Copies of this chain bind each other. A is one copy, B any other.
C-alpha cells in the first residue's frame, strides 16, 4: 500500500458516496446542467478536501452521513469556484481536461457555477448545523474577496505578506473549513477544534506553496498548461519571490520589473528556467515543509489511531506529490 493509497483507502467508500451525492444535486434539473456537473465531477482531482473532512470525522467518531454531506458541500463549493476562476482566467484546460468555459458560453458557465454554489449551500444546510453554515458562507466570502483583491490590486508585486494573504484566501481558508466544520459536526471540544483548525490552515498553506513550486518544476503534460503559468500572467508566487530576493540585481530580474511583469517572451522563458534551476525551489519546499511540521504538531494533540496516521501521511503526501 503506497502513501497515496493509505489515506484514500480508509475512506474510499465514503468518497464514492460524496461523489454520488454531488452528482445527485443536478437530478431533476436541466439535462445540460446534469451533463456539465457530471463532466466536472468526473474530471475532478484528488478529492483531498473531502478526504481530510472524512478522516477527521472518523477520528472523532462523528456521524458519517452528516460528514459525507459536509464533504460534498465543501468539494462542490471548491469545484464551483474553479468553474468561475477558469472562466475569468480564460483557462482552456484543467488537469489536462477541457474546462467548462472552453466548451460552453460564458453565460452558461456563470450560471453553472451559480447553480453549484446554490447546491453547495443546500448541502451545507443539510448538515443541520448553523455554525457549519456560517463557517461555510464566510469561507466563500473570503475566497471570492481574495480573487477580487488580486484583480484590483496593482499586479507585479513581489511581496511575501501579500502572497500569504492570497494563498490563505485561495486555498488555506477552505482547508481550514474542511477540518473545523468536521470538528463542529463531531462536537469536538474547544482545544481539539483549535488544533484541527491549525492542522487545516497549515496544510492548506503548504499545499498551495507546493502547487506554486510544481508550476515551475513540473512539465506541461502533467500541469495541463505551460510551465510557469502564474509568472506568465504576471502573478508572483513564492519561488519567484525568493528568486527575486536573491537575484535582485540580476539583469533578468530588472528587465522583468521594468516591463511591469510583462516582459518579452524570451526573457520570461529564461527567467522561468532560471527559477526552476535555482535554490528558490528548495527554499520554497523548505517553507512548505515547515508548515507541514506545524501541521503534524497540531495533529499530535488529537486522538491516536489509524485515522490520525492517515492524516499524517496525507500531510506528508502534500509536499511529496509531483502533481
**Residues A118 and B106 in contact, CB atoms below 8 Å apart:** no
A144–B113 Cα distance when bound, in Å, is: 10
Which stretch, A26-34, A45-53, A177-185, A193-201, touches the partner chain B?
A26-34
**Residues A137 and B152 in contact, CB atoms below 8 Å apart:** no
Q: A32-B152, A152-B30 are in contact. Are A122 and B137 (CB under 8 A)?
A: yes
Contact of A125 among B119, B137, B144 (CB under 8 A): B137
**Residues A144 and B122 in contact, CB atoms below 8 Å apart:** no
**Nearest Cβ distance between residue A207 and chain B, in whole angstroms?**
22
**Residues B133 and A110 in contact, CB atoms below 8 Å apart:** no
Number of interface residues of A (CB under 8 A): 42
Contact of A118 among B32, B113, B119, B137 (CB under 8 A): B137
**Residues A110 and B110 in contact, CB atoms below 8 Å apart:** yes
**Residues A117 and B117 in contact, CB atoms below 8 Å apart:** yes
Chain B residue contacts of A141, Cβ below 8 A = 29, 115, 118-119, 122
Q: A110-B88, A138-B122 are in contact. Are A144 and B115 (CB under 8 A)?
A: yes
Chain B residue contacts of A119, Cβ below 8 A = 137, 141
**Residues B144 and A118 in contact, CB atoms below 8 Å apart:** yes
Which residues of A pack against B, CB within 8 Å?
29-33, 84, 87-88, 106-108, 110-115, 117-119, 121-122, 124-126, 128-130, 133-134, 136-138, 140-141, 144-145, 147-149, 151-152
